[in-house]
Structure 1
Amino acid sequence: MMKKTLLLLMIVLTGCSMGDIPESAASESFDSAVPLGKASPSVSVESTALFETNQGSFEIELFIDEMPVTTGNFIKLAKDGFYDQTEFHRIIGGFMIQGGDPLSKYESKKDQWGTGGPGYQIKDEFAEGLSNTKGTLAMANSGPNSGGSQFFINLGDNSYLDFDKPPMQSKHPVFGKVVKGMHIVEKIGTVSTNGRDQPLESVVVEKVTIK
């Protein structure tokens, strides 16, 4: 069981590598604009993200008070339309669905899906009591402080991904949870995939709206 768990975790980590981003872009940091531990007033009252997909819609409550940098980054990207027309590019039934890669907009770049990002990285941010349980939204990353735009929604209780759990060094900050439409998330989790966990049918995020 532990061997399978570690294998699944490595899939998440390698699938969101930032290796294709130029060094100058990767060295930039979102938290230079939004200081760690402080939320921008412009996003403090907007706490819900509506995902409209070709499989149906669902809503996620964002943990703005507990995770100001991570949610601030997500909200900015969503408002900029960054996530619109991206796909859930990695699906592992019973484990998670992963999205947020701008390269997933392009079928011609399918061999690079999972490597894209916004051109910068943000610091890991953790809060006591937030765990990778079923229905939670978390940052995908390739190591400490390497998150950018990619995220995943847990399809099961994956608490071994939490910051205070051994043995993996890379951890996944939880910054929201599904509050409406979990059946849609679970439906997406049943889509057939290829050997790289890429869906055989497109699962398109048509729009993300911050409410």
Structure 2
Amino acid sequence: MAKSGSARCSIGFLLVFVAALAGCGRGGNDAPLESRQASVGDSDATKSDDAARDGRRAISKVGIETSMGTIVVEFNSQEAPLTVNNFLQYVDEGFYDGTIFHEIHEGSAVIAGTHTKDLEKKMSRVSVRNEAHNGLKNVRGAVAMARDPGMIDSATSGFFINLTDNPHLDHQDDTPEGYGYCVFGKVVEGMDVAERVGKVKTHDTQDKAGKPLDRSPVEPVVIRSIRVMR
């Protein structure tokens, strides 16, 4: 039976969207993911676990100040401790200040956390363990980590805000393609801002390294700062 036009569009969108998330997964470090993870070691992973559970649980929210308004995100440290810890380390470093929402999927998601206003991809740290099996879903307002769909544990700094329910991004199985995209928080204020970001005019361009940046805003939507709210 031939697929309907809407089905073809849906499948096409899914492929493009997942490819977009792949572009955010790995940072500026070109070393193979496996070697970078191996260098961390089990003892460091245990320390990271402890830090995530003990050092970050008191921090529940951050304010993302953008050029279009402020978005407040509430974390779920109980279900995604490593991911929250990873995100907050970038916040502490000021990593996100001056970055942009570099890819827009109107009505579905807005992606940020990897590129500057000048379309230069920033150098990120080693990837974080994927906690997409935590039961949290990619529903409207959920905030999740972008990653390479071919590598389970490949998320670094890139993240996205779901503008609608995206069940195809949830944990399905233990394969790289089906493991899902880890949700670690939700928008509790400023969802209207995220939705406005999702409607800006876009074009297909390239970053400073010559790599494609599809659906990038014509006028940059800048993350001026991300700050902890206690």
TM-score (norm 2): 0.79
Residue 22 of structure 1: aligned partner: 30
Indicate the RMSD between aligned Cα atoms, in angstroms. 2.6
Letter in 2 for 1:179: V
User: Which is greater in Rg?
Assistant: 2
* Number of residue pairs aligned between Structure 1 and Structure 2: 204
CA 1:76–1:43: 2 relative to 1, 3 Å: same
Output aligned runs, 1:49-68, within 5 Å.
49-68=62-81
Output aligned runs, 1:192-211, within 5 Å.
192-195=201-204, 196-211=214-229
Q: Which runs of 5+ in 1 are unaligned?
A: none
Contact persistence 1:159–1:165 (CA under 8 A): no
TM-superposition CA deviations, 1:56-77 (whole Å, max 9, x none): 0010001111110000010111
Contact persistence 1:18–1:117 (CA under 8 A): no
Which secondary structure does the structure 1 equivalent of 2:16 belong to? helix
Cα distance in 1 for residues equivalent to 2:82 and 2:174: 24
Residue 170 of structure 2: aligned partner: 162
1:188 is the counterpart of 2:197 = yes
Which secondary structure does the structure 2 equivalent of 1:11 belong to? helix
Contact persistence 1:85–1:204 (CA under 8 A): yes
Which secondary structure does the structure 2 equivalent of 1:176 belong to? strand
Contact persistence 2:172–2:178 (CA under 8 A): no
Bigger mean CA offset, 18-27 vs 69-78 = 18-27
CA 1:62–1:19: 2 relative to 1, 3 Å: closer
Letter in 1 for 2:228: I
Q: Which runs of 5+ in 2 are unaligned?
A: 1-6, 205-213
1:129 is the counterpart of 2:132 = no
Which secondary structure does the structure 2 equivalent of 1:183 belong to? helix
Residue 145 of structure 1: aligned partner: 153
Letter in 2 for 1:209: R
Letter in 1 for 2:68: Q
Shift of 1:20: 4.4
TM-superposition CA deviations, 1:122-141 (whole Å, max 9, x none): 11113543100011000000
Residue 211 of structure 2: aligned partner: none
Letter in 1 for 2:66: T
Percent identity for Structure 1 against Structure 2: 31
Query: Pick from 59, 79, 84: which aligns with 1:46?
Result: 59
TM-score (norm 1): 0.85
Cα distance in 2 for residues equivalent to 1:198 and 1:36: 35
Shift of 1:35: 3.5
TM-superposition CA deviations, 1:12-60 (whole Å, max 9, x none): 2332252742317870459637434762433211110100011000100
- Structure with a larger share of its residues in helix: 2
Cα distance in 1 for residues equivalent to 2:45 and 2:180: 22
Bigger mean CA offset, 83-92 vs 157-166 = 157-166
Shift of 1:166: 9.8
